[in-house]
Structures are given as C-alpha cells and as structure tokens.
Structure 1
Amino acid sequence: MRIRVGSRRSKLALTQTGLIADRLRALGHEVKIVEIVTEGDTNRASLSQLGGTGVFATAIRNALRDNRIDLTVHSLKDLPTAPAGGLTIAAIPPREDARDVLVARDGLTLGELPQGAVVGTGSPRRVAQLAALGLGLTFRDIRGNVDSRIGLVRSGEVDAVVLARAGLARLGRLDEVTEAIDPLQMLPAPGQGALALEIRADDAALHDVIQQLDDPDTRAAVAAERAVLARLEAGCSAPLGALAEVSEDVDGGLEISLRAFVGRTDGSFDLRRSKTGPFEDAERLGHDVAQLLLDDGAAEAFASSDSPPDPAPGGHLPRGADPVTDNHPPAPRSVNT
C-alpha cells in the first residue's frame, strides 16, 4: 500500500513521523512524508495566547480531510479531547517514558538550582508544579524547538529549561538531561510521551494496516488521562497533569493506577488525587479522578489561575464518549505469562 504521511516541519515532528514510516516500510508499504506548516509553527506567541489545544493539529487534520495525506503522527498531548469529525485514531504505539526532564547549566538538578534561578517553560502545568515545590524559582515563558530552548541555557539567558523526556529520547539527546523529574514532583501532561496515528474514519483498508502498531496498554493509560482533561473541560495550556500506569492486580488481571494534579501558576494551590480501577474501564476511572478534583476545589483553582484553561475546540466530550477516539475504544487484553 502507498501511504502519504503528513508531518509538521520541526525536527522532532519529522523524527517521530520517520519512526512510524520506518515501521510501515518494514511491513512492506511504500511511504511518502508530506511536510505541512501549522499555526503553531508560524505564530511565536505563547501557547496560552494561541489557545493551546489544537494549534499544531488543525492544519494537518484539514489535509487529512482534503485527501492530501492518508495518515498523520501527532504528539498525543497536543490533541484536543473532542472527537475530530471524519477522523479516527487508528493506533497508539507503545509510549516513551512520560516524565519531564530538566536541562540546566553546570549539570544542576532542581534541588541544586539557587534561589531566584530562571527556569524557561511555556507550560502553565510545569510552572504550577515547580512553584508548589517552594524552591524560590522564577519562570520565563518560552517557545521554540528543542535546539532553541536548550540554546537559552547554553547562552545563559535562563538557568534551566523543562522539556518532555520522550522528545529528547527520540532525538537521541538524553545525554543533555541533568535530571529526570520524578512524577511525585511533576506529573506530565495527559498523553505525554505517546503518539497518535490518525486517519480518515472511512479508510478501512488503511485502518487494518495502522492498527497493527497499536499498543492496548498505552491506549488504555492515555484514555484515562485524557478523560480527566475532558471532564474538567481543560486544554493543554491548563495547569493540569495526569499519569496512568497499567499493572497486574492480585488476581493476575490488569488494572490502571491514575494520578492527577491541578494547581495555580503562583504555587498557592496544589491538589493531587489518585485512584485505581479496572483496565477495561479507563475512561470511567479518568472521570472519577476528575470528580475527586472537582469535589476538592479544582474549578476554583482554574477560575483563580492567572493562566486559565481553554476549553478544547468543539467543546468537551459527551459523557460516555472515548477521550482518545470515539471510534475505537481500548479493548481488554490478556497478560503473557
């Protein structure tokens, strides 16, 4: 089969797309990568000013609908939770390590940064969790690719930057990391480290091909995380983090443990809740954890934040819809013994 894969022009996007293209070629398919420019690539305003969720996805999704490409590879954390009309996520491959990492001057860790150290990040989620640690850090809103962000550290403009470990791993740049941040200190964005392979919903032949790359554990985990996002009607610029992990229960079956965070960017509010539930009920687990957060003041935290959440384009998911894709919810699977 000949497959046209759409990608943003950034080095990371092309690298991620190339990884999937190589897997498809190994399955015997002919793959062509088509580069597409998005608003997030051309507008250098902060993500919260741009509206956060979807700024990287809209142009590529339009290319899918217009039949200019057949497949696109998204960073799942950048996708709105609302279903995209006419499209479906056919596969979510095995996830990279979802943690955030620090790249700091002089090899410093978070605890070694001095009072008043400047940390660069464009993420209110990261700012809120770092501020809550009470380390006396200051923050600078930054945009740009991996090179430009790390370049701010090398030039001395900031003392450190926080990035997703997954991106650096895919680029082969983990040697520049000075600390992998424990999720107990900083929960990642919902879906961080995972890729979403999206196609037209009516392309049954391609769906059968792409579905071979799907990982049920990753799909279930990100479904739980994104259900928190959907239930709280928050976008990727909200100070919200979530991480789900799949493990065996005492009876040898599968369960999901989910942790979530809501905070304020000034560090004055830091709310964390967690719960464990059945593997096959990932979305329900996400809704339950979101309700725990709401019961304990999450809505007030958003309302008082100086960087409020943006509703996902198209609104939040209707109750019962899958937060990853409304066409192909996660299916139970057995554990290999």
Structure 2
Amino acid sequence: MTPETPPLRLGTRASLLARTQSGTVADALRAATGREVELVPITTDGDVLTGPLAQLGGTGVFVAALRDALLRGDCDLVVHSMKDLPTGAVEGLEIGAVPERAPVGDVLCSRDGLNLATLPRGAVVGSGSPRRVAQLLRRRPDLVVRGIRGNVDTRLRKVDEGEYDAIVLAEAGLVRIGRTDRIAERFGADGWPPSAGQGALAVEVRTGTTSAPESADAADAVRAAVARITDVDAEVTALLERAVLRRLEAGCAAPVGISAMLAPGGVALVAEVYSLDGARAVRVERTFSRAEVDGELGRADAAAEVVDELFAAGAADLADLAGSGR
C-alpha cells in the first residue's frame, strides 16, 4: 500500500455478528484488491434501545446510523445483513457488492434438542419477527410465541436458562459466528420461506453524488474495488427477493416470506404472505430464466408479476401491504 492508496474504511456495528460479517468482507477485499481495510466502529439506535424491533422502527434501526456515517464520509463502505436493509433508495448510496451468500433458511434452537414437532404443547418459543411468529403458529397453533431481543448468544442463553423452550434464528448468523452446534432443526426455504435477502450481505457505498469530502474519482475507485467481491449467484437471488419485497411495499410488521433459489430452469421463486396468527396464507411460486432476472429492470418486471398474483389471491386481506394500492 502506498500513500496514494489509503486503507478502505469499513463502518461496522460492534456486535459479534456484525464484526464477523464485516471482517469477512474486509478479508475478501484485501484478497481481491491488495488494499488494507480498517474497521470503523459505529453505534446504532438498535444497539442501545430496548423493546420490540417493530416498535423501534423495524430492522432499519440498525441501518440508519451506518448510512449516516457513510454519507458523512466517516467511512468508505458499510456492511448490512441484507434482510435488515430497507428497500427504498437513499440518494447518494448504492449496493456496491453482494458477496457469496450464507445458508438462507431459519433454524430452531431448543434447550433439549427437540424439533418443532416434538416440542411439548404450550412450549414457549422466542421470535421478534412477525413472519416467524406466523410461520410457527401456522405449524403449531398451540405454541406460546414471545418476542425476544439481544444478540445471538444472549438469545441462546435465555433458552439455556429456561426463559424460552426454543428460539428461531437465521442459520446464516449461527454459521458466521460458529454456533451451528446449537441447531436442533433446519427449516427448508421452500416450505418456510425466509425474509427477503436472508443469508446475504449488502456492501453499501457512496455513488459520488454526496457531500462527503472526497473526489468523484475516489468514490469511483471505492466502488470499483468493492464490486470485485460480488458473487453473481448471490446477487441475482437476493436482489430478486428484494425486488418482490419492494413491490409489495411491506411494512416491518408484515409477515412475508420470500425465497429465490437457483434451479435447472433458471431461478425458482416462492413468495408467501401470512395473517399475523398464521391461520391463513397466500403463496405464489414462479420460475424465471436467468436472463429475465439478471438486470434491475427484469427483476422489477418479475416482481410485478409475482405481486400482482399475490394480490389477486387476497394477500392484501392478510397483511399491511401498501403496494396493494397500485
């Protein structure tokens, strides 16, 4: 590294999972570009406030502080769990890379190693996600599902101490921090579609049109460096899921599962909308050719087809979906 090539500054939250994800991206950037990468710690409201995420503004509370720091020029890039990233565009920012994707599905972690079918009647299961609550109650309406906050280890400790009989988490997070030994059951993404973008990381950068103290050439250099760690398969599946979620205009409390997987015929997509109690659901399954969904416009067209079908089947009667007003 020379004085003309300063280190890339990567903004990160302080949690173990966030630092692990950011470290993975930093290592990939070092390997791809030869540039040094330094981590810049950033505290978000989601890290210091308590209460259900839906009441705090949803998973976007983890995103806002990172984006503000990036727009100010405090760092050159930030890493988000894509499932936490709101779908609306932010002037001056863009997703510069989608690295290789981790497992996309949800898992059950229980105190006694029981799976969902063998948990006792009335077992207490922890989840702060309306989608997961609906999916749990759809399978097991006898369960008591309670909200839960805290990092992965905190949640697992609440199971060990008997506050919960089990919890549902994203497998990707457990993989990244080495806690897969706690998994009692894996839920397939086809029958239990996860949140859009789950398992994927979004590396966000400035577009060069911000007021950050840098030249357009410097912003272009950062974007070029970051783009080198994109995984094209992860990009097409995760961004297709986000396109469907964007078209739905689903609020943070809307129970919606979306999964796109590579298939022999192209990309197979499942989108399911639930009532909050899990009693009702509307599901759409479509397969698109890779060429149809490789670009942003193609993904938008595919998303419109899927969402139109969901609304025609009554999805707007089950959840708060602003896109139904089109």
User: What TM-score results when the alignment is normalised by the length of structure 1?
Assistant: 0.86
Report the Cα distance in structure 2 between the residues aligned to 1:85 and 1:120, rounded to whole angstroms: 36
The structure 1 residue matched to 2:46, chosen from 40, 43, 52, is 40
Instruction: Report the 3-state secondary structure (helix = DSSP H, G, I; strand = E; otherwise coil) of the residue aligned with 2:61.
Output: coil
Report the Cα distance in structure 2 between the residues aligned to 1:35 and 1:237, rounded to whole angstroms: 29
Q: CA deviation at 1:53?
A: 4.3
Q: Which residue of 1 aligns with 2:307?
A: 290
Q: Which residue of 2 aligns with 1:73?
A: 79
Instruction: Report the 3-state secondary structure (helix = DSSP H, G, I; strand = E; otherwise coil) of the residue aligned with 2:224.
Output: helix
1:258 partnered with 2:275: no
The structure 2 residue matched to 1:209, chosen from 214, 222, 225, is 225
The structure 2 residue matched to 1:15, chosen from 20, 37, 51, is 20
| Percent of paired sites with the same residue | 46
User: Is the CA contact (8 Å cut-off) linking 2:101 and 2:200 kept in structure 1?
Assistant: yes
User: Is the CA contact (8 Å cut-off) linking 1:258 and 1:286 kept in structure 2?
Assistant: no
Report the Cα distance in structure 1 between the residues aligned to 2:84 and 2:304, rounded to whole angstroms: 20
CA offset digits 1:109-135 (Å, max 9, x no partner): 111111111100000000111111135
Q: CA deviation at 1:281?
A: 2.9
Report the Cα distance in structure 2 between the residues aligned to 1:235 and 1:108, rounded to whole angstroms: 33
Report the Cα distance in structure 2 between the residues aligned to 1:22 and 1:183, rounded to whole angstroms: 29
User: Is the CA contact (8 Å cut-off) linking 1:224 and 1:244 kept in structure 2?
Assistant: yes
Report the Cα distance in structure 2 between the residues aligned to 1:88 and 1:220, rounded to whole angstroms: 16
The structure 1 residue matched to 2:163, chosen from 157, 160, 176, is 157
Aligned length: 302
The correspondence of residues 118-137 of structure 1 with structure 2, limited to 5 A, is 118-137=124-143
1:228 partnered with 2:244: yes
Report the Cα distance in structure 1 between the residues aligned to 2:263 and 2:223, rounded to whole angstroms: 28
1:107 partnered with 2:113: yes
Report the Cα distance in structure 2 between the residues aligned to 1:300 and 1:130, rounded to whole angstroms: 20
Letter in 2 for 1:256: V
Report the Cα distance in structure 2 between the residues aligned to 1:219 and 1:247, rounded to whole angstroms: 15
Q: CA deviation at 1:185?
A: 3.6
* Unmatched runs of 5 consecutive residues or more in structure 2: 209-218, 294-298
The structure 1 residue matched to 2:281, chosen from 265, 270, 282, is 270
Q: CA deviation at 1:226?
A: 1.1
1:280 partnered with 2:264: no
Q: Which residue of 2 aligns with 1:325?
A: none
CA offset digits 1:24-57 (Å, max 9, x no partner): 2223111110110111111112111112142111
Runs of 4+ in 1 over 6 A off after TM superposition: none
The structure 1 residue matched to 2:192, chosen from 179, 186, 189, is 186
Q: CA deviation at 1:271?
A: 1.6
Instruction: Report the 3-state secondary structure (helix = DSSP H, G, I; strand = E; otherwise coil) of the residue aligned with 2:62.
Output: coil
Richer in helix (by share): 2
The correspondence of residues 50-89 of structure 1 with structure 2, limited to 5 A, is 50-89=56-95
Q: Which residue of 1 aligns with 2:153?
A: 147
1:4 partnered with 2:9: yes
Instruction: Report the 3-state secondary structure (helix = DSSP H, G, I; strand = E; otherwise coil) of the residue aligned with 1:111.
Output: coil
Letter in 1 for 2:136: L
User: Is the CA contact (8 Å cut-off) linking 1:129 and 1:270 kept in structure 2?
Assistant: no
Report the Cα distance in structure 1 between the residues aligned to 2:260 and 2:66, rounded to whole angstroms: 28
Instruction: Report the 3-state secondary structure (helix = DSSP H, G, I; strand = E; otherwise coil) of the residue aligned with 2:58.
Output: coil
Instruction: Report the 3-state secondary structure (helix = DSSP H, G, I; strand = E; otherwise coil) of the residue aligned with 1:81.
Output: coil
Instruction: Report the 3-state secondary structure (helix = DSSP H, G, I; strand = E; otherwise coil) of the residue aligned with 1:110.
Output: coil
Report the Cα distance in structure 1 between the residues aligned to 2:173 and 2:93, rounded to whole angstroms: 25
User: Is the CA contact (8 Å cut-off) linking 1:229 and 1:235 kept in structure 2?
Assistant: no
User: What TM-score results when the alignment is normalised by the length of structure 2?
Assistant: 0.89
Letter in 1 for 2:138: A
Q: CA deviation at 1:101?
A: 0.4
Q: Which residue of 1 aligns with 2:260?
A: 244
